[in-house]
């Protein structure tokens, strides 16, 4: 088995769908919308992200995060530059010979990591 689905509470499913499509490769053409406000969108590898609309998103525990592994360190650096240029809050960063990573807050404050390691 492999992890293939993540459900996130979000205040605005459309806004979150755009964020994950723009920066993390989720395909808006795959989006399925449900009567309860949930949008499920898929990436090229078949991972489903379920974005469930709620009135308020509570603050997650500090360590709680999820990550996307990049095939090369320069891809992590390029994504970091895009997110910074677009005004997203970067809360952690590492750039070592064997580990390049950062964590960004998504529009609802979820910690999202992008990383590379050999």
In the numeric block, the tokens 């998504």 are attached to: 106
Pairing assessment for the beta strands 26-33 and 48-53 based on DSSP bridges: unpaired
Tokens of 116: 């590379």
What was the pLDDT predicted at 59?
86
* Model pLDDT for residues 13-49, shown as the tens digit of each residue: 999 999 999 999 999 999 999 999 899 999 999 999 9
Domains and CATH numbers, the chain: 1-56 (3.30.720.120), 59-118 (3.10.180.10)
* Model pLDDT for residues 84-104, shown as the tens digit of each residue: 999 999 999 999 999 999 999
């Amino acid at each position: 088995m492999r992890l293939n689905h993540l459900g996130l509470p979000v205040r605005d499913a459309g806004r979150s769908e755009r964020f994950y499509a723009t920066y993390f490769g989720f395909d808006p053409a795959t989006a399925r919308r449900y009567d309860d406000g949930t949008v499920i969108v898929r990436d090229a590898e078949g991972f489903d992200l379920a974005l469930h609309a709620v009135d308020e998103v509570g603050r997650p525990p500090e360590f709680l995060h999820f990550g996307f592994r990049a095939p090369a360190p320069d891809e992590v650096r390029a994504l970091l530059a895009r997110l910074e240029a677009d005004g997203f809050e970067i809360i952690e960063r590492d750039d070592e010979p064997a580990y390049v990573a950062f964590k960004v807050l998504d529009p609802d404050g979820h910690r999202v990591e992008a990383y590379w390691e050999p």
